[in-house]
Amino acid sequence: MRVLVVGGAGYIGSHTARILRKRGHEALIYDNLSTGHAFLANGFELIQADFADLARLVPALSRVDAVMHFAASADAGESVRDPRKYFENNFRKALTFLNAVIDSKIRYFVFSSTCAVYGAPSRVPITEDLPREPVNPYGSSKACFEYALKAYDQAYGLRFASLRYFNAAGADESGEIGELHVPENHLIPGAFEAVLGLRPELQIFGDDYPTADGTCIRDYIHVNELKRCAGRCPNASLPAAPETHRCWLPTPQKQRKF
């Protein structure tokens, strides 16, 4: 299967492109490089363009059978400071992209969503029958797009998988690619930067959570597990009904353990 990996020069998208190729698919990477890096697409064809640029997008869609969407803005704190950016990119532009997918007669769509759509869940582990009640614009913008996917499935026969997960971490087994954000505000890379002297200290926020030491507990999933989950989705065996997959590790970690 030929797959357009939108946001494929980013962290999770670049790992997913490699597992697609390993499984015999042909991955075409599409990324505007606003947060991605061209070298993460080495070995793949890279189309550098915005995913709402129809002049560049439509010809790319004509070459593929399925799409995977990793191009959302993904900083919850920033979304509170600048909600306009998040609804613009994660919903308005994403809807332009989705409409182009439908117009191109593509019916297989994999969406990199987030467990932030649940907000503050009433119980843990989270089950998919819990209501989506996001508490920040990041989660809200992703939830809006999930509702659009469901409506498009019902109206146009779109087959989609929505992957909800918390914090991806780690790197490809080859060591050729890994986690790289600018600026880097993720805990595990931050810990390494502190050890290497690239930042003065590792900051941990919050000391009044209902835990033994007051710090929050975070769920992590290794990026290799996530890419394997994503890599199973864009094929002809997608079910006749939409799917939502929660991807998470069963053992949460306290921040101070790092």
Q: Which CATH number fits domain 2-169+220-248: 3.40.50.720, 2.130.10.10, 3.40.50.300, 3.30.465.10?
A: 3.40.50.720
What's the pLDDT at 205?
81
Q: Give 155's pLDDT tier (boundaries 50, 70, 90).
A: very high
Q: Is residue 101 pLDDT above 50, yes or no?
A: yes
The residue extents of the domains of the chain are 2-169+220-248
pTM for the model? 0.86
44, two tokens: 């793949």
Each residue's pLDDT tens digit, 222-237: 888 887 887 777 664 4
Q: What is the 3-state secondary structure (H, E, C) of the chain?
A: CEEEEECCCCHHHHHHHHHHHHCCCEEEEEECCCCCCHHHHCCCCEEECCCCCHHHHHHHHCCCCEEEECCCCCCHHHHHHCHHHHHHHHHHHHHHHHHHHHHCCCCEEEEECCHHHHCCCCCCCCCCCCCCCCCCHHHHHHHHHHHHHHHHHHHHCCEEEEEEECEEECCCCCCCCCCCCCCCCCHHHHHHHHHCCCCCCCCCCCCCCCCCCCCCEECEEEHHHHHHHHHCCCCCCCCCCCEEEEECCCCCEEHHHC
Higher-scoring residue by pLDDT: 189, 25: 25
Across all residues in the chain, what is the average pLDDT?
88
| Inter-CA distances, 16 with 2, 189, 221, Å | 13, 20, 14
Which residues are part of the catalytic machinery? 138
Looking at 9-23, 140-154, 170-184, 190-204, which range is the least confident one? 170-184
